[in-house]
Homo-oligomer: A and B are copies of this chain.
Amino acid sequence: MIKTRKIFLLLFLFLGIIGLQITKAENGYRLWLRYDKITNKTLLNEYRSQIGAVVIQQDSPTIEAAKNEIKRGLDGLLDISIPVRPSVSGNSDLIIGTPNGSDLIASLHLDAQLRAINDEGFLIEQKELDGKTHIVIAANSDIGVLYGVFAFLRRLQAHKKIKGISIQSEPQIKHRLLDHWDNLDRTVERGYAGLSLWQWSKLPEYKSPRYVDYARANASIGINGAVLNNVNADPRILTEQFLKKAAAIADVFRPYGIKVYFSANFYAPKRIGGLDTADPMDPKVRKWWKQKVNQIYKYIPDFGGFLVKANSEGQPGPADYNRTQAQGANVMAEALKPHGGIVMWRAFVYNAGGEDRAKQAYDKFVPLDGKFDDNVIVQVKNGPIDFQPREPFHPLFGALKRTNTMMELQITQEYFGFSNHLAYLGPLYEEVLDSDTYAKGKGSVAKVIEGQVYNYNQTGIAGVANTGNDINWTGHPFGQANWFVFGRLAWDPTQSSEDIADDWIRMTFTNNEKFIKPVKGMMMKSREAGVKYREPLGLAHLCIQGQHYGPAPWTKDMPRPDWTAVYYHRADSVGIGFDRTQTGSNAVEQYNQPIEGKFRQLKSTPDKLLLWFHHVPWDYKMNSGRTLWQELVHQYYKGVDMVRNMQKTWDSVEGLIDEERYQHVKALLKIQEKDAVWWRNACVLYFQTFSNRPIPDQYEKPAHTLEYYKKLEHTKYYEHN
């Protein structure tokens, strides 16, 4: 009788669990670090039999983080309470640690393997010990252990076999950062997911638990640095008041291997330092930076360094004192050097008028090659303009032989529909990283920034973050994928963005193949769709200026010609496109052979970059057999079709995931379709005023006139950004 009652009670509890699972809010807060119980029973039992306990013999804040994570992950995924012990006692334990911290690890003969990987790398190996089979996560340092733990959990989340596991992994790039364009008032420039995560007014007293979850997410994909504030930098970040606040954040991040960096305002010596100049060659200024940096390191002993936007878009810089960019960077580098800090000096410098904007960074920085201190890294955007849906790789990659060069990618979708549109940027990142620069023979942009081409002593890659205080961090549920893929590629640029998408889907949504296959296909095509309905064939910057959401290819009256749209597309009665060959700006000359020759010739220029390099007649015959005008129209319509196919794909997976995220994405795809049609119609109708050629009959006619779309620019209104 008692037994029956107990069973009855337990059954009630069981129903309780089901209830909990059904009503659990899938609000996206957990990102890809979801450790829900594995529902595949065979696999669950397999994992359970393979992981009986966790063995850890050492302690440090980072090891503590690793322990908490593995415990949290295994307890959740395996739905049992995994014991954590200081010694092996079971048949199948998970042994975690470094040879320095753990006698057990030291005894496992991993020395050669560990010597082959760098300080942040890790091994995951199956090892026999006293006739029993264990799994070992070993590394040279505590942070390597944490990275290994996340990699191991990822395998379980993705339902991958762990029998016979053998993984060696190490990051190829040293500094892997998120750049937060977050202002001190918590607004975020180009941020579409709420306010900044940093609650400055409550720091240092209140350290939001969200900072830990942010650090966990970053560590899980190998990101090891965060620039806390906007490159359009408020100098007050360097005041003692903010140093105390930032130090509190740094304390939270430290166990997760994440260093804190600041964007520094070049006028800080004047604006907060009370000096009458910020001239980098002035001894007072040099002294000021030294003292300031020393003060920073008092609060943040492992401070990473500065990111600087100078003489760019209104920001102050060394040119204000007739000094070079190198002289500007070095005054800060000199101050940071004794502490091991670096300067990330942005190459995003261009002046109004005069030379082709795409050429200016190269022209300015190549003559300075070798003039920068060795703890400076010149930070170059992936393309020569500004995070457009598609650009060729920036010619500065491979051009600086004696100057550390790092890459800046954009994760936040400034030109990709903000957090309203689905655009998986993995293929964009991959495209630029895989581009061959021929700097020293065939060799990709990735090799350059890995320091393999010129042996840079500092290497780095930065992504402009898409995070905010929205519950789901990134606004669009698929925005999380861009954060994820950035981190994964920063760790190892040779990875495939498709494989990374596969991981992300499994971790974030489900391991159900019926969901994964179509959704992965949709993701992989989504960036190309965004290119096509906005700026196909190498067009760029046709967006509403300032805001960058919708189309305004007609924009011409602006304070600067390079902030107009007509500057970029140059459409006229003859054709369309920016002539960057010898008959135009000759920007092609900045590329190495054979790339240079390929881009210089109309015929050998790939369609996707055609109008980036050439002004092409409307009736030019494309590879497709269509004229340029027909092809342009085709591309725009194709872009909309692709979005509609994304909608169909998403409709087809209804019921395979939770309703909350399903409906969220569905609603956003509806917005994206509407916006894609807006882009298409506005651009096709506008370019038609130059081509004077019809939209072929097979395409649906634009629903409104060009005038309507021109007006739309002024009535459309979006969120703070």
Residues on A close to B: CB < 8 A? Answer: 3, 6-7, 10-17, 19-20, 23, 25, 27, 29, 37, 72, 75, 79-81, 184-187, 194-195, 199-202, 205-207, 209-210, 236, 239, 241, 418, 420, 469-471, 660, 664, 667-668, 670-671, 674, 715-720
Complex-state Cα separation, A718 to B10, whole angstroms: 52
Partner of A14, one of B13, B418, B420: B13
Known interface pairs A469-B469, A470-B469; A13-B17 also in contact (CB < 8 Å): yes
Q: What 11 additional pairs, Cβ within 8 angstroms, besides A25-B29, A201-B418, A201-B718?
A: A12-B80, A15-B81, A20-B20, A194-B194, A194-B469, A199-B719, A200-B718, A202-B667, A206-B667, A206-B671, A209-B660
Partner of A6, one of B7, B80, B194: B7
Taking CB atoms, residues of chain B closer than 8 Å to A186 are: 719-720
Taking CB atoms, residues of chain B closer than 8 Å to A200 are: 717-719
Taking CB atoms, residues of chain B closer than 8 Å to A80 are: 12, 15
Known interface pairs A206-B668, A471-B471; A201-B10 also in contact (CB < 8 Å): no
Complex-state Cα separation, A667 to B205, whole angstroms: 5
- Find out whether the CB atom of B19 lies under 8 angstroms from the CB atom of A75: yes
Nearest residue, chain B, Cβ from A476: B202
Q: Closest CB of chain B to A350's CB: distance in Å?
A: 28
- Find out whether the CB atom of A185 lies under 8 angstroms from the CB atom of B241: no
Most B CB within 10 A of own CB, among A29, A75, A201 = A201
Q: Closest CB of chain B to A379's CB: distance in Å?
A: 27
Taking CB atoms, residues of chain B closer than 8 Å to A206 are: 664, 667-668, 671
Taking CB atoms, residues of chain B closer than 8 Å to A14 are: 10, 13
Nearest residue, chain B, Cβ from A418: B201
- Find out whether the CB atom of A13 lies under 8 angstroms from the CB atom of B10: yes
Complex-state Cα separation, A10 to B187, whole angstroms: 49
Q: Closest CB of chain B to A194's CB: distance in Å?
A: 5
The 5 closest A-B pairs by CB, nearest first: A10-B10, A206-B667, A185-B720, A205-B667, A201-B718
Complex-state Cα separation, A418 to B3, whole angstroms: 56
Taking CB atoms, residues of chain B closer than 8 Å to A717 are: 184-185, 200-201, 236, 241
Partner of A19, one of B3, B10, B81, B716: B81
Complex-state Cα separation, A210 to B80, whole angstroms: 33
Q: Closest CB of chain B to A295's CB: distance in Å?
A: 16
Taking CB atoms, residues of chain B closer than 8 Å to A25 are: 29, 209
Complex-state Cα separation, A720 to B565, whole angstroms: 32
Partner of A671, one of B202, B207, B239, B471: B202
Complex-state Cα separation, A17 to B17, whole angstroms: 6
Complex-state Cα separation, A202 to B186, whole angstroms: 21
A-B pairs with beta carbons under 8 Å apart, 26 shown:
A3-B7, A7-B7, A7-B10, A12-B79, A12-B80, A13-B13, A15-B80, A16-B17, A16-B37, A20-B20, A25-B209, A184-B717, A185-B718, A187-B187, A187-B720, A195-B195, A199-B719, A201-B418, A202-B668, A205-B670, A206-B667, A206-B668, A210-B471, A239-B715, A241-B716, A471-B471
Complex-state Cα separation, A526 to B133, whole angstroms: 61
Taking CB atoms, residues of chain B closer than 8 Å to A75 are: 19
Q: Closest CB of chain B to A709's CB: distance in Å?
A: 15
Taking CB atoms, residues of chain B closer than 8 Å to A210 are: 471
Complex-state Cα separation, A17 to B13, whole angstroms: 8
Taking CB atoms, residues of chain B closer than 8 Å to A719 are: 185-186, 195, 199-201
Complex-state Cα separation, A187 to B660, whole angstroms: 26
Complex-state Cα separation, A184 to B11, whole angstroms: 50
Taking CB atoms, residues of chain B closer than 8 Å to A201 are: 418, 420, 717-719
Taking CB atoms, residues of chain B closer than 8 Å to A209 are: 25, 27, 660
Partner of A667, one of B27, B207, B674: B207
Complex-state Cα separation, A145 to B3, whole angstroms: 42
Q: Closest CB of chain B to A55's CB: distance in Å?
A: 21
- Find out whether the CB atom of B236 lies under 8 angstroms from the CB atom of A205: no
Q: Closest CB of chain B to A526's CB: distance in Å?
A: 18
Partner of A23, one of B6, B7, B72: B72
Complex-state Cα separation, A2 to B695, whole angstroms: 73
Complex-state Cα separation, A305 to B306, whole angstroms: 52
Complex-state Cα separation, A469 to B471, whole angstroms: 8
Nearest residue, chain B, Cβ from A186: B719
Complex-state Cα separation, A471 to B30, whole angstroms: 13
Q: Closest CB of chain B to A224's CB: distance in Å?
A: 26
Q: Closest CB of chain B to A222's CB: distance in Å?
A: 25
Taking CB atoms, residues of chain B closer than 8 Å to A205 are: 667-668, 670-671, 674
Taking CB atoms, residues of chain B closer than 8 Å to A3 are: 3, 7
Nearest residue, chain B, Cβ from A30: B25
Partner of A241, one of B12, B236, B715: B715
Complex-state Cα separation, A20 to B674, whole angstroms: 41
Complex-state Cα separation, A637 to B119, whole angstroms: 55
Q: Closest CB of chain B to A347's CB: distance in Å?
A: 31
Q: Closest CB of chain B to A638's CB: distance in Å?
A: 23
Q: Closest CB of chain B to A469's CB: distance in Å?
A: 5
Nearest residue, chain B, Cβ from A19: B75
Complex-state Cα separation, A65 to B469, whole angstroms: 29
Q: Closest CB of chain B to A594's CB: distance in Å?
A: 45
Most B CB within 10 A of own CB, among A11, A12, A241, A717 = A717
Complex-state Cα separation, A670 to B207, whole angstroms: 12
